[in-house]
Structure 1
């Protein structure tokens, strides 16, 4: 096999892996990591991995080919300069929170933009997304609201019955006194 064929095969493999990640991801966040040390990138990757997010530094040409004609096709025109790409699979809010929080602590790292379900969001939009409650928090809030309705309903009927019981007791005591 020739050297060019091996390199082409490696590039195709990278593109296919990226395409699979991008198609699975609900959100893809493009970041600027210029000037970061290997230790800082390792720390960032471990934080992202703990949140279920993949992070990869890849050539823009390969990234463009990977997102082309996929869910995040809108990204292909925005992949310029050096980029790190984060793939958030479960909850887009969690990905945004982890990346925005890390950007606040690092002077060298920043969020450029994101693609959420095929729509481009600028850095300010990603910051706003990070302020939203996560999926588990929303579920807990919904469950709390749903639980409050029957609880209040039971309390209301208990008060009505209690009031009727007090009235009957008062009538009974009045009749016994007479």
Structure 2
């Protein structure tokens, strides 16, 4: 995007950044902001590695630009929590996996402070990340559903095969007593 590393963004680049963040917020199911003061460069890099997971977006955005992007989104409810250096993290699907990754990072790095958390446009208490982290991933939920659907069929099959099996065992026992 920019060749110069420490040059301030010009107006067009700021508009592009606000549009990029706005587009991400349109598709986001879960968003959180955190104060990253006190994190080392390596810890920030580790946090950004979470964004390599599909559907997760992490970016450090200036407060004014973040507030502009939030203004027209369903997540405007957290605008008042935006102050100080903020890192924005969003998940477009699978909030459980997102929360697990973020919670694990927060547990391992006490220097990051969670500022706001919202799910589908509703602001959540910051402790709710623990509840979100216990949600199964999509694949886990499908697996659980399939095992629940499969259990009655397995019980029916076991019952249906138990009667002939019991009959064969009884006949075998009778045969054994006659010989």
- Superposition TM-score, scaled by structure 1 size: 0.82
Residue 77 (structure 1) aligns with: 80
- Structure 2 stretches of 5 or more lacking a match? 1-8
1:7-156 matches, within 5 Å, as: 7-50=10-53, 52-156=55-159
Q: What's the CA shift for 1:52?
A: 4.1
Q: C-alpha separation between the residues in 1 aligned to 2:54 and 2:45?
A: 14
For the 8 Å contact 1:93–1:132, the answer to whether it is kept is yes
Cα deviation for residue 166 of structure 1 reads: 6.3
Inter-partner Cα distance in structure 2 for 1:165 and 1:108: 69
Contact 2:33/2:116 (<8 A) preserved: yes
Query: Match of 1:123, SS?
Result: coil
1:131 CA displacement: 2.4
Q: Is the 8 A contact 2:32 2:116 kept in 1?
A: yes
Can you give the 5+ residue segments of structure 1 that lack an aligned partner in the other structure? 1-5
- So what's the TM-score if we normalise by structure 2? 0.82
Aligned length: 167
2:81 and 2:115 in contact (8 A); partners too: no
